[in-house]
Amino acid sequence: MARLRSFQRLASHFVDIADFLLVYIEEAHPSDGWVSSDAAYNIPKHQCLQDRLRAAQLMREGAPDCPLAVDTMDNASSAAYGAYFERLYIIQEEKVMYQGGRGPEGYKISELRSWLDQYKTRLQSPSTVVIQV
């Protein structure tokens, strides 16, 4: 939950230059599967899309201002982006500009913040214009 709050703070800070989206994917540590001792929630393995949608609401509570999408039951988004367990991305004009490491170890809000800071600086820098006469 702390990571989600950090993500929400980041999204609030950079709302002027980026759109943020959370995508809820397959539960990494379901309560009826490979259980983690530090799991924040007791969520059983999703048997249908309705199960996944209910579980995703918990994510919505952690980041209420951020749009939320839910992966399909065949885990198409997770497979396409290699997101399992959790991962951060920046996509610009249909191109991956930043791909964080796989979570939980590779999930680094600080790296994402650094990328966004640099991007914001580039946006605010006056562009050099060459005029030929």
- Tens digits of residue pLDDT in 66-122: 899 999 999 999 999 888 778 999 999 999 999 999 877 888 999 999 999 999 999
Let me know if residue 103 belongs to a domain: yes
- The CA-atom distances, in angstroms, between 85 and each of 13, 23, 62, 114 are 25, 11, 17, 22
- Tens digits of residue pLDDT in 43-56: 888 899 999 999 99
Let me know if residue 131 belongs to a domain: no
E strand residue ranges, the chain: 22-24, 68-70, 89-92, 95-99
DSSP class of 89: E
Q: Which pLDDT belongs to residue 99?
A: 93
User: Per-residue confidence at 129, pLDDT binned at 50, 70, 90?
Assistant: low
Q: Residue 103 maps to which CATH number?
A: 3.40.30.10
Let me know if residue 51 belongs to a domain: yes
Residue type, 46: H
Let me know if residue 47 belongs to a domain: yes
Let me know if residue 19 belongs to a domain: yes
Let me know if residue 56 belongs to a domain: yes
Provide the domain limits for residue 105.
1-110+120-124
Mean predicted lDDT score pLDDT of the chain: 86
